[in-house]
Copies of this chain bind each other. A is one copy, B any other.
Amino acid sequence: MRISELARRTGVTIPTVKFYMRQGLLPTGTPTSVTLAEYGPAHVDRLRLVRALVEVGGLSLTAVRRLLATLDAESPAYAASPEEADPAGRSIAAEAVRVAQDALPPEVTPGGPKPARALSAVSALGWQVDPESTALRQLEAALVALDTVGLPPNISTLLAYADAALRVAEADVESIPTGPPAEIVRHVVVGTAMYEPVLIALRRLAQQHLLK
C-alpha cells in the first residue's frame, strides 16, 4: 500500500508517519520509484503500536524507541532459554518485564543513595525484587515526595496498595502466553506499558463510585 493508505488505516497523519520513520520508530517502505514506496501489514501493526504507546500509554518517543528495541532484539538472554528448560517462558518474561520497566517513565536518577524506604517497604512485604531496579527507585521517589508535600502514607494505606498491586501482577503473570519467545516478549513489553492506564482509570472511577 502507499503511505496515504498506511496513514488512513492507522489514523495517523502522513507527516507524522514520515516523522516516525525519520525517528527510526517505523521501518521505511520498499521503494517502487524515486518518490514512492510500498508498505505492508507489518507497517500497519507497528504504526498502531507506536500510536497506542504514545497516545494512551503517554510514553515519550525515547521510551517508545527503547521498548521497540526490546521487541526487535534477538538478545542473548532470550536465545539462551530453550523452550524445554523454561516451559512457561518464565525467565524470558522476567527479563522482558525488567527491560520494559526500565524503559517506561517516570525517569529516575540512577545511582545516588540507596532507596532505603522502598527497600524496607518491599522487605516488610516479603517481596523478592532486584535491589538495583528502576521500579524500586520510582517507589522511593514517590514515598519521599509524599513526605515532602506533607501527605506521608500510613501503613494501612501502603498495605492496601501493595495488596492491590499484587493482585494485578498475578493477573498480568497469568495472562502471559505460552509460545515463541517473541510472542512472550511482545505481550509482556506492551502489556506492562498499556495496562497501567487501565489501572489508573479504574482507580479514578472507583473513587467516584465510593464518593457517590
Q: Could you say which residues of chain B place their CB within 8 Å of the CB of A163?
A: 164, 167
Whether B145 and A211, one on each chain, are in contact in the complex, defined by CB atoms closer than 8 angstroms, is no
Q: Could you say which residues of chain B place their CB within 8 Å of the CB of A143?
A: 198
Whether A201 and B135, one on each chain, are in contact in the complex, defined by CB atoms closer than 8 angstroms, is yes
Q: Could you say which residues of chain B place their CB within 8 Å of the CB of A158?
A: 198
Whether A139 and B202, one on each chain, are in contact in the complex, defined by CB atoms closer than 8 angstroms, is yes
Q: Could you say which residues of chain B place their CB within 8 Å of the CB of A101?
A: 204, 207-208
Interface string of A172-212 (1 = CB under 8 A from B): 11110000000000010011101111111111111111111
Q: Could you say which residues of chain B place their CB within 8 Å of the CB of A129?
A: 205, 208-209, 212
A163 to B56, CA, bound (A): 22
Whether B172 and A168, one on each chain, are in contact in the complex, defined by CB atoms closer than 8 angstroms, is no
Stretch at the interface among A18-26, A29-37, A146-154: A146-154
Q: Could you say which residues of chain B place their CB within 8 Å of the CB of A162?
A: 202, 206
A57 to B36, CA, bound (A): 44
Report the minimal beta-carbon distance from A20 to chain B, rounded to whole angstroms: 15
Size band of the interface chain A makes with B: 35 or more
Given contacts A56-B145, A149-B49, A151-B191, contact A170 B165 (CB under 8 A): no
Whether B165 and A206, one on each chain, are in contact in the complex, defined by CB atoms closer than 8 angstroms, is yes
Whether A151 and B197, one on each chain, are in contact in the complex, defined by CB atoms closer than 8 angstroms, is no
Report the minimal beta-carbon distance from A1 to chain B, rounded to whole angstroms: 18
Report the minimal beta-carbon distance from A47 to chain B, rounded to whole angstroms: 10
Listed by A's residue number, 24 A-B pairs whose Cβ atoms lie within 8 Å are A52-B145, A52-B148, A55-B145, A94-B211, A94-B212, A97-B208, A98-B208, A127-B208, A129-B205, A129-B209, A133-B204, A138-B197, A138-B201, A139-B198, A139-B205, A142-B197, A146-B195, A154-B175, A160-B170, A164-B167, A164-B202, A166-B210, A169-B206, A169-B207
